[in-house]
Structure 1
Amino acid sequence: MGIFERYLSVWVGLAIIAGIAAGSLVPGVFAMVAAWEFAHVNLAVALLIWLMIYPMMVQVDFSSIRDVGRNPRGLVLTLVINWLIKPFTMALLGWLFFRVIFADMVDPQTASEYIAGMILLGVAPCTAMVFVWSQLTRGDANYTLVQVSINDVIMIFAFAPIAGLLLGISDIHVPWDTLLLSVLLYVLVPLLAGAWTRHKLDRADDHSRLNAFLARMKPWSILGLLATVVLLFGFQAQTILANPMAIVLIAIPLLIQTYGIFAIAYTMALRMKLPHAVAAPACMIGTSNFFELAVAVAISLFGLHSGAALATVVGVLVEVPVMLSLVAFANRTRGWFSPVATDESVPPVAEG
C-alpha cells in the first residue's frame, strides 16, 4: 500500500480544511467555478471526477466474468449485500436519523438532501479502493476482480432504477433525465473507455504496458480526488462554518451503516463457510462505497452547494479510517474461517 492509500484520511482531511479556508477567503472564485455548468453538470467537477474514475475502470478485467461459475458463493454474498440489503438499510437509516432522531436539528429540505446523499452512497458499491482492502486482508486478487467486474456491469443497469426508487420513496423529486445522464457519464462511458484502454495495452503474457500506464495515471487520479474535495468543501464553506455540527450529524448514521453492513456480511460469510481470502474482500466490497460516483451524481441531481453533495463527501472522510479498522478486524479473525476453500478455485486472470 502506497503512501497515498496509507494516509488517505490525512490527505482528505487536509483537503477539507483547505477547501473550507479557501471558500471563506475567496468565495467569488468558487462562485465562478460553480457557474461552469452544462445540463446541471458542473464541468470542473466532472473533469476531476473523470480523472478519479477512469484509472479505476482500466484496472477492471472484464474477461474474469467468464470464470464466475466456478466459485459462485462469494459472488452471491457481495451481490446480495450490495443490491438487496445495503441500499435499503442506508435509506432507512437516513430516514430514521434525519426525519426522526435529528428532526429538530435539521430543516426538512436539508434533511431530504442529506438522505439523498446517503442513498446515493448506498447504491454505489466500491470499485477501486476494494483492491487495496483485498490486498491488506491477503484476499484472492483474481476473485476480487471477478466481484468488482460483475458489480460494475450490474451498476450500469441497476444504479439509476434503485436510486430513483429510494429517492422517490423518500419523497424526493427524481429528475430521471439527469440521473440517467449521470450514469452514462460516470459509469458507462468510463467503463467503456477503461475497457478499450485495457484492451489496447494489456497482453496475456505481458502486463508491463498496462502497469506502466496505471502508474502514470495514479498521480492524476489522486489529484482529481483531492481537488474535488477542495472544491466541494469550498462550495460548502459558508454552510459548514455556520453549522459545523452538520458533519457530525451526517457521520453518525454513516458509521452505523458501515459497521452494521460489515457485521451482516461477515456473519453471512461465516455461515456460508467461505474461505477467508474470498470472504474478506466480499465483505469489504459490500461495506465500502464508490464515493466518486455518488459525489458526481449528487452534484448533478442537487447542485454543488446541496446537502446531498456534502453528505457524499462526508462519506469519503468517514470511510477510510473505518475501513482500515475493519481490515484490522478481518485479519485478526482469520482463524474463524476454514483455511481450505470449499469451492473450486478460480483460474488466474490478468491483474490490474
Structure 2
Amino acid sequence: MSELHVPKTEKARKRNIDLEVEEPILQQRTADGYLQHPYGGVPAAHSALDEARQSDAKGVAKSLLLSIGWLDRLLSLFIILAMILGVIIGEFAPNAKPNLDARTFKGVPVSLTVPLITMMWPILTAVKYERFPDLFQTRRIWYQLAISLFLNWIIGPFLMLGAAWATLPDLAEYRIGVVMVGLARCIAMVMIWVKIARGDSDTCAIIVIVNSLLQMVLYAPMALWFINVISGDHTFHLDYPKTATAVGIYMGIPLAAGIVTRLSLLYLVGEARLKKFLVYFQPLSLVSLLCVIIVIFASQAKQILHNLGPVFRTIAPLALYFALMWTFTFALIWFLSVRFGKEEWGYQMAVVQAFVAGSNNFELAIAVAVATYGADAKQTLATTIGPLVEVPVLLTLSWIALVIGRRMRWDVAISRQQARRATKEVHRNA
C-alpha cells in the first residue's frame, strides 16, 4: 500500500487544539485506491473527479453520476423502455407469446433461461475470489459476516413481509411477488453502489459470496415458510423441489461459471488483462436483464394494460423497504463504530452493510417466480418492478451516504467537531 503523511493545519496550531491530526498521520490506501480516513470516516479521493465530489452537496450529486458508466447511469431509462417495448410486442404481435414459450427448460421458456443465467455471470466474475484467504484471517470480516447474516436473513425478509402486507393487503399475487423479492438477498447491483459510496469492496465481495451460497440452501424453505405458512396463502402453493431446482440453476450455474472464468483468466492472462476483459464483459448483465424484462412484459402485456393500478402500487412496498432497511443499517453500524471504534466498523463498513441489506437480488426472484408461477403470472410481474425502483432509490442513497458520512464521527475517541476538522484536512491533502 502507498502511504501519505498528512501535516497538521496552521489553523489548528494557532488554536492549540488537541487534535490527533496535528501530528503527522500515516494514511494507507484502500483496495480501491482511496486514502483511508484517520478516524474511520469517508475515504479521501485523489483524482480531479473526486475532488469535485468532495466540494459540496451539489458536487457530490454531479460526480456521483460521472463516477459510474453510462450504461449504469441510464439503467432506469433502459428498464422503462424495455417494459414499454415488451408491452408493445405483447399487445400488437399476437404470435410473440407462443413463439417465446415454444421451448422450455425445467418449465421455464428458453427465451428466459439463457438471459437469466447470463445476467448473473459477469457480476459473479467480477468478485475477487483470490483475496478471500487473506481477508478471512482478519477479525473484522467475521464481525461483518455475523451482523450481515442477522440483517439479511432475519430483519430484511420480515421487514419486506411487513411492508408487503401493509401496502398490498388486497393484492395477494403481487404481495407474494414482493415477498419473494425480500427473500432474495442482494448479490448484483450492490457492488456498484458500494463502489460509488466508497465502501470496502473486498468485504462486500465476501458477503456477496456468502449470500449466494446461503440462497442456494435457504431460499426455497424460507419461501415456503413465508408464503404458505406465515402469509397463509395456501392457494398459491410453492413447490419446494421446483424452487430449490430453480435456485440451483439460476444461482449455482452462474456462480460456478463466474469462479471458473475469473480464476482461469487470472492465471492465463493476468490481472491487468482481466480488468480490461471485465469492462467489455459486464455490460452482458444489463443486456440480459433487459431481455428478461422484454420477454416477461411481452408475456404479460394484456395483464399490465388492464391492471395499471396494482402495478404502480407494487412500487410502494419496495421503495419503503429500501429506505427503511438502508437507514436502519447505516445508523446501526454508525452506533457500533462510535461505541466500539473504527477498527472493526467505520464508514466503509456502514456503506457495505447498508447497501447489502437495503437491496435485493431481483434476478433470482424473477427466475424463481418464472419457474414456479410462469412468465405471465402476476407474481412474476411484481418481481420485475424491483429494478425500476432500486436504481433511483439506491443512487440517491449513495449521495446521501457521502454527504452525511462526512458530518458524522466514526470513532470512540473524538468529538464530532474533531472528526469534521480531520475530514477537511485529509481531503485537502488528498
TM-score computed with the length of structure 2 as normaliser: 0.73
Contact kept? 1:120, 1:163, Cα under 8 Å = yes
1:330 is aligned to 2:405:
no
Shift of 1:63: 4.4
**Pairing of 1:264-303 with structure 2 (within 5 A):** 264-273=328-337, 274-303=345-374
Residues 1:203 and 1:334: Cα distance change in structure 2 (over 3 Å): farther
Q: Residue 341 of structure 1: CA displacement? A: 10
Residue in structure 1 matched with residue 198 of structure 2 by the alignment: 138
Work out which structure has the larger RCO, using CA pairs closer than 8 Å and 6 or more positions apart in sequence: 1
Question: Corresponding residue for 1:224?
Answer: 288
Which residue, 59, 63, 80 being the options, matches 2:150?
Answer: 80
Q: Which residue of 1 aligns with 2:227?
A: 167
Tell me, yes or no, if the aligned pair for 2:71 and 2:283 is still in contact at 8 Å.
Answer: no
How far off is 1:35 after superposition?
A: 3.7
| C-alpha distance in structure 2 between counterparts of 1:161 and 1:61, whole Å | 30
Per-residue displacement from partner, 1:199-225 (whole Å, max 9, x unpaired)? 211149931242233233223222211
Match of 1:321 among 386, 392, 396: 392
Is 2:325–2:357's contact at 8 Å kept on the other side of the alignment?
yes
Judged with a 3 Å threshold, the aligned counterparts in structure 2 of structure 1 residues 155 and 336 are, in CA distance, closer, same or farther, namely farther
1:176 matched to 2:240? The reply is yes
Give the deviation of 1:154 after TM superposition. 2.0
Instruction: Report Cα offsets for 1:127-184 as digits up to 9, x if no partner.
Output: 1211110111011222222222222222222222212211222223121121011011
Q: Report the AA paired with residue 160 of structure 2.
A: M
Provide the TM-score with structure 1 as the length reference: 0.88
Residue 157 (structure 1) aligns with:
217
- Please tell me whether the aligned partners of residues 64 and 146 of structure 1 are also in contact (alpha carbons under 8 angstroms): no
Report the Cα offset of residue 93 of structure 1.
2.2
Q: Deviations over 1:71-100 (max 9, x none)?
A: 13333332221111111221222233332x
What are structure 1's unaligned runs of at least 5 residues?
104-110, 343-352
Match of 1:12 among 79, 94, 97: 79
| Structure 1 position 89 matched with structure 2 position 159 | yes
Alpha-carbon RMSD across the aligned residues, in angstroms, is 2.1
Number of the residue aligned with 1:70: 139
Q: Secondary structure at the match of 1:269?
A: helix
Q: Residues 189-208 of structure 1 correspond to what in structure 2 (within 5 A)?
A: 189-203=253-267, 206-208=270-272
Aligned residue for 1:202, secondary structure, equals: helix
d(CA) in 1 for partners of 2:388 and 2:274? 30
The code of the aligned residue for 1:123 comes to: L
Matched, 1:45 2:112: yes
Q: Deviations over 1:66-125 (max 9, x none)?
A: 4244213333332221111111221222233332xxx2xxxxxxx332122112211112
Q: Report the CA distance between 1:336 and its aligned residue.
A: 4.9
Query: Partner of 1:19: helix, strand, or coil?
Result: helix
- Residue by residue, what CA displacement relative to the aligned partner does 1:17-73 show, whole Å, maximum 9, x if unpaired? 111111111132123212432332221101011120111111223344442442133
Indicate how the Cα distance of structure 1 residues 204 and 143 shifts in structure 2: closer, same or farther if over 3 A, else same.
Answer: farther
Give the counterpart of 1:54 among 118, 121, 131: 121
Give the whole-Å Cα distance in 2 for the aligned partners of 1:280 and 1:81: 14
For 2:296 and 2:412, how far apart are their aligned partners in 1? Answer: 44
Consecutive unaligned residues in structure 2, runs of 5 or more: 1-67, 338-344, 414-430
Aligned residues: 332
Structure with the higher helix share, 1 or 2 = 1
**Equivalent residue for 1:129, pick from 182, 189, 196:** 189
When residues 44 and 204 of structure 1 are mapped into structure 2, their CA distance, relative to the original with a 3 A threshold, is: closer
Q: Structure 1 residues 40 and 203 mapped into 2: Cα distance closer, same or farther (>3 Å)?
A: same
In structure 2, relative to structure 1, the CA distance for the partners of 1:17 and 1:205 (3 Å cut) is closer
Aligned equivalent of 2:89: 22
Residues 145/337 of structure 1: CA separation in 2 closer, same or farther (3 Å cut):
farther
Q: 1:263 to 1:156 in 2, by over 3 A?
A: same
CA distance in 2, matches of 1:327, 1:337: 16
Q: Secondary structure at the match of 1:126?
A: coil
Supply the distance in 2 between the matched residues of 1:188 and 1:160 (Cα, whole angstroms). Answer: 14
Distance 1:290 1:337, change over 3 A: same
